[in-house]
Chains A and B, each alone.
Chain A
Amino acid sequence: DTGVSQNPRHKITKRGQNVTFRCDPISEHNRLYWYRQTLGQGPEFLTYFQNEAQLEKSRLLSDRFSAERPKGSFSTLEIQRTEQGDSAMYLCASSLDHRDTGYTFGSGTRLTVV
């Protein structure tokens, strides 16, 4: 396993369009997280899944955002009706629930809304 994989690496979209990002976690990790990072800031938590259940959501996750993890493996993050303020790096991370050795992050998807 080569770690957490995110696709695409970069996405440019026009304001008002919908976008979807994919995250493939480390295969044995049952916990999956989405974070957002804007320039000069630390990552901000968006949401967390344990297996297929979405157990925690940030208030940053407006109704235009939806995340799924249908079979407890990969996850998708969709943003509808994108706005320029959505431009950011979207990071995915995964972890095991019985080993507190930290999260493994992917390299992120950089979204630019023009």
Chain B
Amino acid sequence: DAKTTQPPSMDCAEGRAANLPCNHSTISGNEYVYWYRQIHSQGPQYIIHGLKNNETNEMASLIITEDRKSSTLILPHATLRDTAVYYCIVRVADRGTRSQGGSEKLVFGKGTKLTVNP
């Protein structure tokens, strides 16, 4: 089962910031937070990931609370092409050690359907 909780849907006006929340209250110390998005009829696309510090790349910013129990993905200037389902995933950082809980699999929930309106 997914270890994250996301709202099923959100709307955002084009040009405004989209802030997508995710709760992961049972996250372990060695688990990263990953964000992917899936545009209709395409495979998921990696956006960003982080452990405990805030992260920023050319696509988005990731804000993780100090207790790491929740995070927010920020799309600073949403465009119509950002309309997609956004998935928040937690995964063990040590990918190769199965005895420590490492696993290669990503456990996707149902995500948040973000609609950017003109």
Contacts and interface: CB of A to CB of B under 8 A. Distances in A.
Contact of A91 (B43, B49, B98, B104): B43
B110 A40 contact: yes
A100 B49 contact: yes
A107 B42 contact: yes
Contact of B44 (A45, A48, A91, A101): A91
B21 interface: no
A36 to B, nearest CB: 11
A105 B87 contact: no
B49 A102 contact: yes
Counting contact residues on chain B (CB < 8 A from A), the size range is: 20 to 34
27 contacts: A33-B104, A33-B105, A40-B110, A42-B109, A42-B110, A43-B106, A45-B107, A55-B104, A56-B98, A56-B104, A91-B44, A93-B44, A97-B95, A100-B32, A100-B49, A100-B93, A100-B95, A102-B34, A102-B36, A102-B46, A102-B49, A103-B44, A103-B46, A103-B106, A105-B43, A107-B41, A108-B43
Interface of B: 2, 32, 34, 36, 41-47, 49, 85, 87, 93, 95-96, 98, 103-111
